[in-house]
């Protein structure tokens, strides 16, 4: 007779070993994830200037971050140099387009963007992680909160959820903070980790988050508040950030409801498949019901969002049926549907094997293929960023169109 417990434990160990080897293969010799440098073209795109304008800045301003020139003469820039370049442009031109940090005194409230859907495999972790990294690249102060016990986002940042994350370091620690005998502010700050992405911090996840789910379910039975825990946590730490990005579990449990209540904006990833639309339809029906229940029993101000956007994920433009579905989606969802899609590419698969995002992956071979993939990802993230800028009352022009500082 097969020992099911032992068999599945062995399968889990195999998955852990494969993950460990993939991370170590990419991150020799220090065996920790690190951020690659960015090419001159990538740096120009991130700063919003043309390549020729960036070259002029490098040639004419010795105090402008110069990057590093390799043996082939190819110039690259670290993310620290990109941030310094943006600061130099802001100080030298006074142009507000280079200012990324929000200002509370000007009514620029903390933005909390939750990526949610019922169905697993819809692209929540991929889209939320890429969005958080895009914002960090562009100079925002970002906090990513992993609310999924599967901890895929945590693993993408090179943190092993089984061995490197204690329960108290996840959101579960905040939920059971009354048992820890410490100041709530200290507990909140102790949950946050810096990452190898400057400007991007993480509240990691692990399977221990499941205990928070059970704890919050118990509060429902006892008629105690359960849905404002994430709001309470962010009230302690939100002042240090411009944007919070939440990666939610693939259901609408207690943790996801907390993300829905705390959010100022929602992004709903939907692959262009009929089964995914069926699941998403159930998600939206549930959202309608909880909105009615919350507004009836708690407050009419509950679940008021600055924006809700539908993001097409895993899109293969060469697939005729998917193209038809995307056309229907944009026609029927109207302005709620983002006009660009997260395209499924071989580059995304290659990066995923190494537990990297497109922003971290350094392609070998056909760079043009990679550039098309990153361009599609940037187009999606720029649309969501535009929602934040709209809410903050800002506009942004692209310097590469103006050729001037």
pLDDT tens by residue, 77-119: 999 999 999 999 999 999 888 999 998 777 899 999 999 988 7
Task: Note the pLDDT of residue 3.
Answer: 57
Q: Which of 81-95, 190-204, 220-234 has the lowest mean pLDDT?
A: 220-234
pLDDT tens by residue, 239-252: 999 999 999 988 88
Mean pLDDT of the chain: 85
pLDDT tens by residue, 304-328: 889 989 999 998 888 888 888 888 8
Structure tokens at 210: 């499941």
Average pLDDT (182-196) is 90
Q: Which of 27-36, 46-55, 65-74, 181-190 has the lowest mean pLDDT?
A: 27-36
Q: Which of 107-121, 162-176, 285-299, 375-389 has the lowest mean pLDDT?
A: 285-299
Average pLDDT (198-213) is 94
Cα dihedral sign, 158-388-244-100: positive
Question: Which domains are assigned to the chain?
Answer: 38-98 (1.10.1660.10), 104-394 (3.40.50.300)
pLDDT tens by residue, 34-53: 899 999 999 999 999 999 99
Q: What strands lie across the sheet with 68-69, from one edge to the other?
A: 38-39, 75-77, 68-69
Task: Note the pLDDT of residue 398.
Answer: 42
Report which of residues 35 and 178 the model is more confident about.
Answer: 35
């Amino acid at each position: 007779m097969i020992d099911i417990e032992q068999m599945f434990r062995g399968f889990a160990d195999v998955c852990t070993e494969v993950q460990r080897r993939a991370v170590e293969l990419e991150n020799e010799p220090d065996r920790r994830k690190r951020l690659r440098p960015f090419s001159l073209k990538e740096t120009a795109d991130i700063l919003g200037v043309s390549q020729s304008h960036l070259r002029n800045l490098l040639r004419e301003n010795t105090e402008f971050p110069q990057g590093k020139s390799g043996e082939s003469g190819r110039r690259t820039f670290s993310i620290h140099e990109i941030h310094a370049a943006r600061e130099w442009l802001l100080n030298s031109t006074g142009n507000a387009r280079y200012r990324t940090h929000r200002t509370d005194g000007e009514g620029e409230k903390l933005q909390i963007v939750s990526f949610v859907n019922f169905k697993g495999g819809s692209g929540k972790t991929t889209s939320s992680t890429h969005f958080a990294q895009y914002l960090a690249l562009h100079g925002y102060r970002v906090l990513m909160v992993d609310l999924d016990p599967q901890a895929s986002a945590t693993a993408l940042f090179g943190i092993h959820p089984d061995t490197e994350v204690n329960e108290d370091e996840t959101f579960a620690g905040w939920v059971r903070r009354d048992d820890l005998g410490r100041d709530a502010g200290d507990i909140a700050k102790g949950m946050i980790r810096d990452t190898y992405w400057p400007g991007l911090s993480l509240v990691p996840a692990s399977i221990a988050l499941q205990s928070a789910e059970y704890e919050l379910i118990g509060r429902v039975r006892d008629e105690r508040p359960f849905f404002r825990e994430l709001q309470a946590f962010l009230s302690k730490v939100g002042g240090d950030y411009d944007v919070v990005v939440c990666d939610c579990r693939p259901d609408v449990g207690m943790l996801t409801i907390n993300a829905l209540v705390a959010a100022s904006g929602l992004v709903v990833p939907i692959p262009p498949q009929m089964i995914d639309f069926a699941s998403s339809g159930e998600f939206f029906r549930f959202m309608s019901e909880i909105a009615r229940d919350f507004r009836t029993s708690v407050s009419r101000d509950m679940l008021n969002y600055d924006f809700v956007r539908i993001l097409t994920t895993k899109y293969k433009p060469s697939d005729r049926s998917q193209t038809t579905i995307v056309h229907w989606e944009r026609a029927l969802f109207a302005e709620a549907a983002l006009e660009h899609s997260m395209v499924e590419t071989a580059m995304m698969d290659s990066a995923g094997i190494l537990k990297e995002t497109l922003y971290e992956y350094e392609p070998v071979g056909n760079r043009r293929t990679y550039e098309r993939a990153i361009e599609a990802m940037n187009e999606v993230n720029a649309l969501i960023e535009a929602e934040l800028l709209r809410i903050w009352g800002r506009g942004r022009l692209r310097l590469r169109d103006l050729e001037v500082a």
